[in-house]
Amino acid sequence: MLSNRQQFDYAVGDMGINLYFMSAMTYLLFFYTDVYGLSAEVAAGVFLFARVIDAITDPIMGFLADRTRTRWGKFRPYVLFGAVPLAVIAVATFTVPGFDKLGQIIWAYATYTLFGIIYTVVTIPYAALSAVISNDYQERSRFTSVRMMLALAGGAIVSVGMLPLVDMFGGDEAGFQLTMIVFGVIATFLLWLTFRGTEETMPSLDAGDKVNFRDSVRVVVTNSPLWITIALFCLGMLAFTFRFTTVPYYFKYSMGREDLIWLYMLVTLAVMFPGLLAVPWLSRKYGKAGAVRLGALIAMVGAVGFYFTPATDVWLVFVWGSVLAIGGAPIMVLGWAMLADTVEHGEVRTGIRAEGVVFSTASFFQKMAKAIAGSGIAAMLAWFGFVANQEQSQETIAGLLFMIAVCPLLFNALLFLVSLAHRLDRTRHAAIVRDLTERSIKPTHG
């Protein structure tokens, strides 16, 4: 059983990670089009290329992590040594170099691609830690809830602090660069705190018995609950990305209230905290898949309400945006807990425990979803005739509403349907753990 301190030390790392995640997810496209000066078409290319490369590196990183053996464990060293390089490249990504137009485009491709690679080096091992600090079905729901609450806190820091800090540091290029320096220092400290306060307690294979590539493939291919969880993850990521990335554009151009962007971000993140607190209870009452379905239904109601709300009705925009956000809480928490449960499912079927490969495979597809969403949003902006820092056409305004409301509605509807196929519930997982214990299968950290 993990102590409250151990749960906090693990969870706080995701607060740091989310300083980067939310900055890139919410503001990087806006930074590229409205500050950096890239066209929506060029920005779409940057997002697609960088995020595809980012996704491809995930399985490689998972395989390497599973084969890592150090006195600190196999996952924690990456959290320790990757924190500073991640901070440096994050700052570079939000920097406008003094190059000509071609040089700036190359810089954008290079920095965002490197950011994704180093982000993978840190976050894949961090995520896999959740499977080696506990193997208890319900405890995973509890500490993942703590993790997501602190992740939301990191997101709230970005939501509330990003634009005010940018303005305080001089605005535009210098403001974004200095703000990311602040975020980088904070995130590095928090990731080091996770390294210090966690311990990999699940036993590993001996150094001579490291998981090979063939075993890794077998663990993934034969693990049907993993693929269902991956589908849920991807749909949740698509809904989240469209919902958040479109916000700055919707508020600036559809509502004419750029001053409210930070407040909307704060409110829609803050209302998720009660939802996160309720998730362990919902998981006990309805099961993890049932709680995810309930969240999808709530999100769909919010999306419909948002679509039929005039952009001039600020109050209702906040209300329906909050409902949509609350509906996203269950998959945010339980997706990670469900993923950890698939590690034991794969182990009982193959005799191989490969947390790194399981988590990196899920992350690969999640990032592919993020790549499709990020580049898709940029491409849709171009399709709907968006031109930065100008009054937009009615076609563009309608397109922004489609992206912020209709797309999340569709993704949550699919999420609801896919969740019906999830069968790895508490009873089945407990039987798997008992089976592993009785067979005395030695778990392999990897």
Give whichever of 5-9, 11-15, 274-278, 299-303 has the largest mean pLDDT.
299-303
Average pLDDT value for residue range 364-371? 83
Span 327-344, pLDDT tens digits: 998 998 788 788 878 888
pLDDT exceeds 70 at position 275 = yes
As its CATH architecture, domain 4-439 has Up-down Bundle (1.20)
Q: Does position 440 have pLDDT exceeding 60, yes or no?
A: no
Q: Mean pLDDT of all residues in the chain?
A: 88
Quick one: pLDDT at residue 203?
56
Least trusted range by pLDDT, from 52-56, 203-207, 402-406:
203-207
Structure tokens at 4: 């409250």
Residue 403, pLDDT above cutoff 90:
yes
pLDDT band (50, 70, 90) for residue 423: confident
Q: Where are the domains of the chain?
A: 4-439
Q: Check whether 444 has a pLDDT greater than 60.
A: no
3-state secondary structure the chain: CCCHHHHHHHHHHHHHHHHHHHHHHHHHHHHHHHHHCCCHHHHHHHHHHHHHHHHHHHHHHHHHHHCCCCCCCCCHHHHHHHHHHHHHHHHHHCCCCCCCHHHHHHHHHHHHHHHHHHHHHHHHHHHHHHHHCCCCHHHHHHHHHHHHHHHHHHHHHHHHHHHHHHHHCCCHHHHHHHHHHHHHHHHHHHHHHHHHHCCCCCCCCCHHHCCCHHHHHHHHHCCHHHHHHHHHHHHHHHHHHHHHHCHHHHHHHHCCCHHHHHHHHHHHHHCHHHHHHHHHHHHHHHHHHHHHHHHHHHHHHHHHHHHCCCCCCHHHHHHHHHHHHHHCHHHHHHHHHHHHHHHHHHHHHHCCCCHHHHHHHHHHHHHHHHHHHHHHHHHHHHHCCCCCCCCCCHHHHHHHHHHHHHHHHHHHHHHHHHHCCCCCCHHHHHHHHHHHHHHCCCCCCC
Distance CA 437, CA 344 (A): 11
Mean pLDDT of 358-379: 85
Residue 442, pLDDT above cutoff 60: no
Mean pLDDT value of segment 393-415:
96
pLDDT at 4 over 70: yes
pLDDT digits (tens, 9 = 90+) for 120-163: 999 999 988 877 777 676 777 778 888 888 998 998 899 888 98
Q: What is the mean pLDDT of residues 237-262?
A: 92
* pLDDT tens per residue, range 64-121: 888 888 888 889 999 999 999 999 999 999 999 999 999 999 999 999 999 999 999 9
Instruction: Give pLDDT tens digits for 19-65.
Output: 999 899 889 999 999 999 999 899 989 998 998 898 888 888 888 88
Q: Per mean pLDDT, which of 37-46, 193-202, 229-238, 297-306 is the most reliable?
A: 297-306
